[in-house]
Structure 1
Amino acid sequence: MIGSQGPALSRRALIGTGLGAGAAALTAAGSGTARAAEAAGADPLAQRRAYSFLAAAMDAYPDHGTIRLAQSYTDQAGLFSTAFTYDNALAVLAHLASRTANGRSRATALGDALLHAQDHDPVYDDGRLRQAYNVGPYTFYDGSPQPDGFVRADGTANVGSQFGFTGTAVGDMAWAGIALSALARRTGERRFLTGAVRIGEWIERVGRTDEPLGGYKFGVNGADEKLPFTSTEHNTDLVGLFGQLARLTGDRGWLERRARAEAFVENMWEPAGGFFYTGTNDGVTINKSPIPEDTQTWTHLALNSPTYNRSLDWVATELAVLDTPDRPNSTVPAGQSYEGVTFSSASLLANEDAPIAEGQPRPDRNGVWFEGTAHLALALRHRHASRDEARARRLLASVERAQDLLGGGQTIGGEALAERAGVVSASSPLDTGFGFGYYPYRHTGATAWYLLAAARANPLGA
């Protein structure tokens, strides 16, 4: 666990090299819960509980202003009041997927907070957002106080500098732009489209590359230095964002930019294996490992092409896991088991005898990544081939069971959360293979992806 030993890194770690692909088989849970889910689909009560967690994460610091973002993880994760831009973009999309007045109100408030961060950065005025922000007070590990909410006394956004979350990744920006675009469509409010366009323009200025593999680069670090990596995941996000901006603005220049991002993604396709590689470190050589989950499922949601939809079968076969209490390093309680997928091919080959990082636990090779499991469920529902719906419902049943039984006794902002509300990021500690891990802490991002899958809402479609 993270606890007092320090935090895990963000999910958007830099692209690296690692171990070769592992193999697993998608195993039916064999439980009454899973069989019932195949017949009934997503549970409305589970969805209501998930929304109650998103509300609690958003309302955790009522004494620190009405302009607010949602805390990403429960306090037990050791990241204090950190609110990742990516997670909050997903929360916007999940609230809109509820099709309720309350959901629209919450999505609008979060969207306005993203615009505030864009307009009130303490250093830059160029449309960027940072990787994460602080949204409430805490005392850091070194004893230094962080007394502010999301908006500091001088009106600037409270950037998450304590953990070094000061850079700007193209993928994070793209998801924020997708969320603002969705708000522009739903509300008709011009400010959201203006913010999304500013994001797209920043990405075009900073990320565009003429390297042999093309596409858009990773972004910048906290010192505003451009990073040399190019990510399949990020360019997939841009296919979604640029397509949506083209439709909303009528500016065909966004279609050219979409085509550039799409060409990079297609360059990462491995036809012999039926999957997409993770990207490139230098713009010339393709990284062959690790092979992550999201570059398979998100590509389907963004491209919707029968040429590439075998990537979903690759995930369902090669990244499938079943976490049980008898697994080495599993933290699943006795009598429980969870099926789904893991983060990457390297996760299946993680060193079970060593901690994921200093001060953190040893990984469970069969730990279920619930956010990715929801990605796959949504993508299968979107593809809608034979048996896809039944497989998706079984995966959603596993996520719902995790919401019911895992993550009890956790808090946000020091306040107890309702039990059985909020999806943990992983069933047991898992090593992503990209320099960071996921743990059994309730997570805004995982909960939002569950709600998107339950609602069949594709955020990457144009």
Structure 2
Amino acid sequence: MPDISIDPVTTDQSPRTHRSVLPPLSRRSFLVLTGTAAAVAASATSATARGLPAGGPIAHGNPHGSAAAAGRAAVAFLQSATDAYPTLNTGPRLPQSYADELGLFSTAFVYDSALAVIALLADGRRSAEETARVIGDGLVYAQEHDPVYSDGRLRQGYNVGPYTFYDGNPQPYGFVLPDGSANIGWQFGFLGTAVGDMAWPGIALAQLFARTHDRRYLDAAVRIGTWITTNTWSTQPLGGFSFGVNGANVPVPNGSTEHNIDCVAFFSMLRKLTHDKAWSEAADHARAFVDLMWDPATGAFWTGTNDGVEINRFPVPLDTATWSWLALREKQYASALDWAGSALAVTDDASAPTSQLPDGERLSGVTFSTASLTSTAQYNGITVHQQGVWLEGTNQLATALLDRSRGGGDKDAAEALLVQTRHAQDVLGVGQHLGGVEVDGGIVAASSLLDTGFGFGYFQVQHVGATSWFVFADTRTNPLRLRGSS
């Protein structure tokens, strides 16, 4: 999520950028600004060693009735997010990323849209696949109907429904503007193009092609891959692919470990689907960068680089620990999952002064980064909770542990995390809305307000991204591998 902090609780609804001494920005935040960026990392011990839940039932029961019902409710939330504005969006469209309560209105981030496509395909039911195709068609439409560019790029986010901005300026349209162009997210500045925000839609479109054999999806994925290799191939000493461009189309020179992991997965899919060896070269170029980020002494991937020359080692976030396993499945890097499950383990207890959990509640999982554990940042006057659970990351870890499946410990740890997520689904985000209509079944982004350490926070608001990762874990789906591939 971008580093616009909107307080969904108070009446002060003016968007603000969190200003503090910031490390390089993550994929989710840099495009709002014009500064530097780099993304995630990880390191090692035992996934069950410290802080993860021990499993078993939690008080209050499960209002969704069963684990299977919880999974169905999550998928229904993704469909509701896609259909939030039925009178305006009758054709290709994208899902609204967050419930209305966050204050980002109808913003649809392409990263979340890509996750939703893969999650809906993982569900397997016909209605879910139909919604996946609608979102895939939305990504293709956005690519083909950008108001400025025709080079295959996607923007960070789009508007998919009407709203009145904080300054009183009305935005009455849906995903498609009257002139036929895609409704890009200009109000919040979500106009740039990041490599990770290209690779994930490319992965989703590749997965759609593999399922449907509709050539439009593969063609669009190839255009995305071509944009990445044409515009971000780095010749700096560390190599890999640089960050992308900001909203003014100015290149951002940073290199992200997370992005390059995305590229390894994406380009490997394109190689398999097109049989074009050029994609192997691109995957190898990204992989070489990822390998350079590995620190064998700690069993960690560093964050990336600010300039293509020096490695950035702080903060250490979760994503590259989980995604490196899902994309690479390399035994030499498997310890990153264990580090994530130990070093980033948190337990949010309602009795803590900065917790936002309902009275009597307690929830365990993992947080975003090492910086999250010590941050004292405030968003709209609310102090972050250092033990806030990042639900998207918690489900990333569950997904990766189930995929690694090393003995019984991985499965037990993953199942314990899923118990926590299902409980969060039951008791957090109740009464929230999409397009003004109350929704159920979504997973909130965080159990309590948390700071990522990358200049933005996560809130207790239902989120397409967190919900999609829950579906991946629930269905034992690795989103970074073509379904059926080894």
**Does TM-score exceed 0.5, indicating one fold?**
yes
One-letter amino acid matched to 2:394:
T
Q: Structure 2 matches for 1:26-425, cutoff 5 A?
A: 26-29=50-53, 32-33=56-57, 43-66=67-90, 67-351=92-376, 354-355=377-378, 357=379, 359-386=380-407, 387-418=409-440, 421-425=441-445
* SS at structure 2 position matched to 1:218: strand
One-letter amino acid matched to 2:14:
Q
> Distance between the aligned counterparts of 2:88 and 2:381, measured in 1?
32
One-letter amino acid matched to 1:339:
S
Q: Higher mean Cα deviation, 68-77 or 58-67? A: 58-67
Q: Structure 2 matches for 1:438-453, cutoff 5 A?
A: 438-453=458-473
CA displacement, residues 3-47 of structure 1 (integer Å, 9 cap, x when unaligned): 3132678861233699x9999963254564169x9xxxx911100
Identify the residue that residue 14 of structure 2 maps to in structure 1. Answer: 5
* SS at structure 1 position matched to 2:252: coil
One-letter amino acid matched to 1:413:
G
Could you state the TM-score of these two structures normalised by the residue count of structure 2?
A: 0.89
One-letter amino acid matched to 2:392:
E
> Distance between the aligned counterparts of 1:447 and 1:102, measured in 2?
17
Percent identical among aligned pairs is: 51
One-letter amino acid matched to 1:372:
G
One-letter amino acid matched to 2:28:
R
> Distance between the aligned counterparts of 1:16 and 1:268, measured in 2?
12
* Contact 2:195 2:242 (8 Å CA) reproduced: yes
> Distance between the aligned counterparts of 2:252 and 2:186, measured in 1?
19
Could you tell me how far 1:99 is from its partner in structure 2? 1.1
> Distance between the aligned counterparts of 1:440 and 1:285, measured in 2?
36
> Distance between the aligned counterparts of 2:346 and 2:150, measured in 1?
45
Could you tell me how far 1:308 is from its partner in structure 2? 0.5
* Contact 2:52 2:364 (8 Å CA) reproduced: yes
* Contact 1:17 1:287 (8 Å CA) reproduced: no
* SS at structure 2 position matched to 1:64: coil
Q: Aligned-pair RMSD on alpha carbons?
A: 2.2
Distance 1:164 1:28, change over 3 A: closer
> Distance between the aligned counterparts of 2:39 and 2:98, measured in 1?
28
Distance 1:188 1:8, change over 3 A: farther
* SS at structure 2 position matched to 1:2: coil
> Distance between the aligned counterparts of 1:416 and 1:149, measured in 2?
19
* Contact 1:290 1:433 (8 Å CA) reproduced: yes
* SS at structure 2 position matched to 1:323: strand
> Distance between the aligned counterparts of 1:27 and 1:224, measured in 2?
43
> Distance between the aligned counterparts of 2:360 and 2:51, measured in 1?
17
One-letter amino acid matched to 2:470:
Y
Distance 1:30 1:269, change over 3 A: closer
Could you state the TM-score of these two structures normalised by the residue count of structure 1?
A: 0.94
Distance 1:318 1:183, change over 3 A: same
* Contact 1:174 1:237 (8 Å CA) reproduced: yes
* Contact 2:38 2:304 (8 Å CA) reproduced: no
* Contact 1:330 1:428 (8 Å CA) reproduced: yes
* Contact 2:325 2:334 (8 Å CA) reproduced: yes
Could you tell me how far 1:409 is from its partner in structure 2? 1.3
Could you tell me how far 1:63 is from its partner in structure 2? 1.0
Number of residue pairs aligned between Structure 1 and Structure 2: 450
* SS at structure 1 position matched to 2:98: coil
Distance 1:360 1:179, change over 3 A: farther
> Distance between the aligned counterparts of 2:54 and 2:477, measured in 1?
28
> Distance between the aligned counterparts of 2:184 and 2:350, measured in 1?
39
Distance 1:307 1:32, change over 3 A: closer
* SS at structure 1 position matched to 2:382: coil
Q: Note the residue ranges of structure 1 that are not aligned, 5 or more in a row.
A: none
Identify the residue that residue 430 of structure 1 maps to in structure 2. Answer: 450
Could you tell me how far 1:322 is from its partner in structure 2? 0.7
* Contact 1:34 1:394 (8 Å CA) reproduced: no
Q: Higher mean Cα deviation, 153-162 or 65-74? A: 65-74
* Contact 1:402 1:423 (8 Å CA) reproduced: yes
Distance 1:7 1:172, change over 3 A: farther
Distance 1:121 1:218, change over 3 A: same
CA displacement, residues 81-104 of structure 1 (integer Å, 9 cap, x when unaligned): 000000000000000001111111
